Structure 1
């Protein structure tokens, strides 16, 4: 599970921890090159608050957080394909297929990262209670 998912799915975060999580999700590259003191000053929280936040989302501390961010960044780089020019004329059919697979996979992963679990639950509940036709009608899709 990605770090973004761990942060957004955890339901019992305090307002301070929500602030820490939002900052981390919006400043990943900055965090990778920061110390805990930098984060402490940037978000106006204490070191113990940062450690408690890390523990709540299943990490041992700030250094583990940075390691997770680095791993995720590496995975994204490894599978990156330019969507505007995903393959070239010289590419073999297997290369084209692999590049398209990577492109689709990264698109799905990017979409998945943006999903809000609570919102999805509300949508599912609405559809269950009102039916799919009425849900589309409510959204003015029909």
Structure 2
């Protein structure tokens, strides 16, 4: 959670940056002090303290303090342990699994339910009105975009995934108000994805971005679903980031499925399962 706040500082207003520094200087005290005292110590107004909490992706001051207290006390310690050249297979197994589990638990504590609610509502509304839903990603994130298309396809949602930069720009050029595009990026700095987001937003489409806090893409999107972890975006083979993005897609797909409703989905999924039985060995 503290790493997320640090990453968000450059994108915050000057007054909100003072609140951020106050949090980082003494997280335990911030979680326990009343808003009046917090505002006084940061030399800002009480509404600024609340705006800061929302700017970094939380529902408000109460939600922020609750998750901050949990993060500080129970401490899901996110110690990203890199694999070393002399590691044994058993060491690699433990490090890779520990890094992944820690990232998932950290996300559970840090995730903004408000942002997820907004994204799921936008996607469900796009589906119900028959507008376009598209998923964009480049490189490793392009595979996540394809997985997202498959997840939503199984729900009866017509969606398209593009991983080619030219196709993304061409498709974004055809998006219109009521359409929705989900853009997935580890770094939040990929030029092709930034260009596609800008075009889609200019054409009136809703842009949902799954990326790191404080990145240019995070600031550009209408709805930002933060995916923060210590794994550098310039690593040759991102692992934790890919799994974190896949999990966020799973959460979105589940939320959208609930909005579509079981009465409509259950018969569809049952028929699909029955039709696939002939494809399997008995």
C-alpha separation in 2, matches of 1:27 and 1:60: 21
Between 8-17 and 63-72, report the one with greater CA deviation.
8-17
1:5-33 Cα distance to aligned partner (Å, 9 max, x none): 22122242011111110110111111122
Corresponding residue number in structure 1 for 2:31: 32
Deviation of 1:48 (Å): 1.2
C-alpha separation in 2, matches of 1:73 and 1:50: 19
Deviation of 1:75 (Å): 2.7
1:28-87 Cα distance to aligned partner (Å, 9 max, x none): 1111220111101111111111111111111111111111111112332x77xxxxxxxx
1:65-76 correspondence runs (5 A): 65-76=64-75
Counterpart check, 1:45 vs 2:44: yes
Match of 2:7 among 6, 9, 13: 9
TM-score by length of 1: 0.50
**Equivalent position SS for 1:37:** helix
Calculate the aligned-residue CA RMSD, in Å.
3.1
Corresponding residue number in structure 1 for 2:112: none
TM-score by length of 2: 0.27
Instruction: Give yes or no for contact 2:22–2:30 (8 Å, CA) kept in 1.
Output: no
C-alpha separation in 2, matches of 1:47 and 1:54: 11
**Equivalent position SS for 1:60:** coil
- Structure 1: 5+ residue stretches without partners: 80-100, 110-116, 125-142
- Structure 2: 5+ residue stretches without partners: 78-94, 104-213, 216-229, 235-282
Corresponding residue number in structure 2 for 1:84: none
